[in-house]
A and B are shown apart, each in its own frame.
Chain A
Amino acid sequence: MNNVATEIVLKDATTSLAEYEAAGGYAALAQARALTPEQVTDELITSELRGRGGAFFPTGRKWSFVPPKNTLPKPHYLVVNADESEPGSFKDNEILSRVPHRFIEGCLITAHAIDCTNVFVYIRGEYSGPYEILVGALEELRDRKDIRGDVTIVVHRGAGAYICGEETALLESLEGKRGQPRSKPPFPAISGLYASPTVVNNVETIATVPPIIAMGGAEFAKLGVENTRGTRVVSISGNVVNGGNYEIEAGMSLRDIIYDLGGGIPDGRTLKAVVPGGSSTVILTKDEIDVGYDFESLAKLQTSMGSAGIVVLDDRCCIVQLGIRFSEFYEHESCGKCTPCREGTRWLTAILRKLEDGRAGEHELDLLLDVCDRINGKCLCPLGDSDAIIVASYVAKFRDEFVAHIEEGGCPFGGASSLDHVLAPVAMHTHSPVAEVPA
């Protein structure tokens, strides 16, 4: 497997329309428009592209679920998910900032494939930089009806809520409501935005569409490995020399990603663990990184690529504190609609804090896992599940460290952990005291 960067999405980075066109930009759009929508969708099915937002759903199939207008006479919508708020993930930021026209070209091709003229890009409110670049790129297309066709692209800014990345919460938010998930079915392809057929795709998914049309689905499917075709833009962060985004061929070894692309661990420290696909993914120990970065290889380790945010943690990281910080995040971002998530994320934080402070006994470890069980699979969306799954994985893989907190009556790192005393927003926004766990 190729262990250098392979660029098809990020290649020829430019924000300028003239430069993008000079490098062959918008040629794939012309190619696609010469095909019928069904033919474009078939090309995507052949490519075996799966969604890059985290759920990994086959993109061509998703498009094919949109009912034809003669059976359901309603407008179709394309909604692009640019909410990117998963801790560890910052690839869409880079894609929008560096190749905005490839992204727009992908929107226009997808609009053709699903027979729609209204595209909404829901971008997280914090992304002022990428927003300005995207709006600038769209401005350049103002007089280019030849490119825009009949399609209107509206960039809609979020206002700070991780849950709005979940597709139905996103649609609620786009409809001007609080961003709380809907119950499914109906799925967005049948009844999404304004109760009309809607395709929701991630930024990277959409930006991968033009190269697929340009090279042909079959050619794209030769990249990567079985079940994970093409490339992935991976985000590397944490205790690593060269943090940043790298586009790799799927299947590259996680060790090579961390050591060759990321440059390894700085400050003479050693690797302890890796969060492979954003905060929501099951942790890997230092002994589990000789694994292909693809769906199947990671599934064998009960984890996933998620949103491809690789967080590298060195030997200074206390795993209980890691659990606290991520649990605080999920607690902060829980929308409150489903009780197991609303109550459970709060409990997980509280029990972990009790462990960290040396106030917990052995039974609290069981209680922690029990709370995980009581969240998992019991809510409308998987936000709470993520907290439950990762905390359970920390206990499973670093049980000794949890036990040491109990036996030593506190943190064995003695204040030297890299996550010591980090102030989460939750400590500031809520005036209520941290939930107390009854003895």
Chain B
Amino acid sequence: MSSLYDEIQAIRAVYPDDSESAVLPALRRAQQEHGWLSADVLREVADALETTPAYCKAVASFYDQFHLAPIGEHLVEVCTNVSCAVVGAQQVVEAFESELECRAGETSADGKVTLRTVECLGGCGWATIVAVDHHYRTHVKADDVPEIVQELRGDEQRGD
């Protein structure tokens, strides 16, 4: 029995029997472990939940935070909704693109960082918000980008 299997059983125990509520937390846990949700991982989650991989994939594909394709070691998400955009989010995106030498939606050639733009992260008054490995950096300006990229190219572990 894999530890992921055991962890998913522990998650299931939190919710009423015969409910499917453990699906989201189980997918999250699996993604934390494997980085992304491959067909094999979806099969593993489905088995642990006693459901089908298709069901797990149908649910996972609905949500923005689940990755159905591989991503880099680190994830950089720049909010480009209006409150961030009017104070320079696009310049921040472009600074990341030029530092990482890849476009938003892509992963840097060294496999270290995946960059993407996202919808409102809920930190509008502290714009621009950049989620680095799911933790918010606030008031980010284009000038701050080289330092963030340098930090990520060092060998910090990905947080949750």
Residues on A close to B: CB < 8 A?
84-90, 92-93, 124-129, 154, 156-162, 173-179, 194, 235-239, 243-245, 275, 279, 309, 311, 313-314, 316-317, 322, 325-326, 329, 332-333, 335, 418-425, 427-429
Residues on A with C-beta less than 8 A from B71 are none
Contact present for A237 and B64 (CB under 8 Å): no
Assess whether B28 is in contact with A159, with CB atoms less than 8 Å apart: yes
Interface 0/1 of B128-160, CB less than 8 Å to A: 000100111000000000000000000000011
Chain A residues within an 8 Å CB radius of B65 = 125-126, 159-160
- Most chain A CB atoms below 10 A, which of B63, B82, B93: B82
Q: Give the interface of B toward A (CB within 8 A).
A: 14-16, 19-25, 27-28, 58-60, 62-66, 80-83, 85-87, 89-90, 93, 104-105, 116-127, 131, 134-136, 159-160
Min C-beta distance of A127 to chain B, whole Å: 7
Q: Are the CB atoms of A243 and B126 closer together than 8 Å?
A: yes
Within 8 Å CB of A128, what residues of B?
Answer: 134-136, 159-160
The reply to whether B119 and A329 contact each other, CB–CB distance below 8 Å, is yes
Task: Evaluate contact between B83 and A311: CB separation under 8 angstroms.
Answer: yes
- Which residue of chain B is the closest to A86 with respect to CB atoms? B120
Q: Do the beta carbons of A124 and B122 come within 8 Å of each other? A: yes
Answer whether A423 and B104 are a contact pair too, CB < 8 Å, given A157-B24, A159-B66. yes
Looking across the interface, which residue of chain B has its beta carbon closest to that of A417? Answer: B86
A163's closest neighbor in chain B, by CB? B62
From A178, A237, A423, B83 is in contact (CB under 8 Å) with A237
A157 to B123, CA, bound (A): 18
Q: Do residues B59 and A423 form an inter-chain contact, with CB atoms below 8 A?
A: no
Q: How far is the CA of A325 from the CA of B85 in the complex (A)?
A: 9
Contact across chains for B90 and A423 when beta carbons are under 8 A apart: yes
Q: A176-B21, A322-B82 are in contact. Are A161 and B64 (CB under 8 A)?
A: yes
Q: Is the CB of A235 within 8 A of B125?
A: yes
CB–CB B59/A176 < 8 A: yes
In the assembled complex, the Cα of A176 lies from the Cα of B19 at a distance in Å of 8
The closest CB in chain B to the CB of A275 belongs to: B82
A194 B119 Cβ-Cβ under 8 A: no
- A329 near B120 with CB under 8 A, answer yes
B44 to chain A, nearest CB (A): 17
What are 6 residue pairs bridging A and B, where the CB atoms are less than 8 Å apart in the complex? A85-B122, A89-B122, A235-B125, A418-B87, A425-B117, A428-B105
